[in-house]
Structures are given as C-alpha cells and as structure tokens.
C-alpha cells in the first residue's frame, strides 16, 4: 500500500478475482482461489475501464470485455 499511496492511487479492494466489486475504483486481484492461494495478481481500474496483468496473459473472464489492457 505504501507504493500505491506514494503514486496517489487509492486501492479500494485487495481480494480474489471472484470477489471483484465493480463499484470500487481500484482493485488488486489474486487470480487464484482462496483454497489454492497464489502469486498471480492483476490490477484493475473500474473507474478507467483498464487492467494490467504483469504476466501479460489474456484478459481474465472476471474482467469485463470492454476493459482495455494497460501495458
């Protein structure tokens, strides 16, 4: 959160992908499940309709198709 704060980004949600709340502006999502855990995280801006995947994988289904990939 220190990095987000230093960049002026207010992260509203840090959770698993299945819990994405599109009413929140900014989310960091774990692409795995609570049972498995995981190390693959994706950043989502519901406000800007963009997402960033550091691994560059195809858009996860939980992210709306209208959201653009931010490289």
Say how far apart CA 35 and CA 25 lie, in whole Å: 26
The answer, yes or no, to whether residue 5 has pLDDT greater than 70, is: yes
The pLDDT, as a whole number, for residue 33 is 82
Contacts within 8 Å (CB) and 24+ apart, 26-34: 29/60, 29/62, 31/60
Beta strand 50-52 with 13-16 is unpaired
Confidence of residue 4 (pLDDT cuts 50, 70, 90): confident
- Whether the model clears a pTM of 0.75, i.e. scores above it, the answer is yes
pLDDT tens column, 25-62: 999 999 988 888 788 999 999 999 999 999 999 999 99
């Amino acid at each position: 959160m220190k990095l987000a704060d230093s960049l002026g980004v207010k992260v509203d949600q840090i959770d698993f992908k299945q819990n994405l709340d599109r009413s929140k502006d900014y989310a960091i999502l774990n692409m795995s499940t609570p049972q498995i855990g995981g190390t693959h995280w994706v950043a989502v801006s519901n406000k800007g309709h963009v997402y960033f995947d550091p691994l560059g994988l195809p858009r996860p289904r939980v992210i709306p198709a209208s959201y653009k990939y931010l490289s």
